[in-house]
Amino acid sequence: MTIPACPKCKSEYTYEDRGLYICPECSHEWSMDEPSEADSDVLIIKDSNGNVLAEGDYVTVIKDLKIKGSSSVVKVGTKIKISRLVEGDHDIDCKIDGIGAMGLKSEFVKKVS
């Protein structure tokens, strides 16, 4: 069995210890059962609590967010429907009532059950 490279820093020097893979260069640890990002082309985006997000999910904002180039603010607790998950400087494309289309980072939202 070959040990996969670190998904965080791509180091080849990972090792196995008590059911975990460990990277000695960046100290990242991950489960052997967890599929690596290299094994999957599926984009996995998680909210601030670690819940996996999908298109069509509803999320709420966990902190006031200033909007670049505007005096408007997205308030804590604003409920938003995810239009699309993307890669780049933001993870979530959505449309906010009263503001319009926006890109948000997943670290500032939590999934609504």
Residue-wise pLDDT for 4-32, tens only, equals: 888 888 889 999 988 889 999 888 888 87
Residue 98's pLDDT band (cuts 50, 70, 90): confident
CB neighbour list of residue 63: distance below 8 Å, 6 or more residues apart: 76, 108
pTM: 0.61
Local structure of residue 5 (DSSP, 8 states):
P
DSSP symbols for 25-89: TT--EEESSSPPGGG--S--EE-TTSPEE-TT-EEEESS-EEPTTSS-EEPTT-EEEEEEE--SS
- Phi and psi at residue 71, to the nearest 5°: -95, 0
d(CA 109, CA 76): 9
pLDDT in tens, 71-81: 889 999 999 99
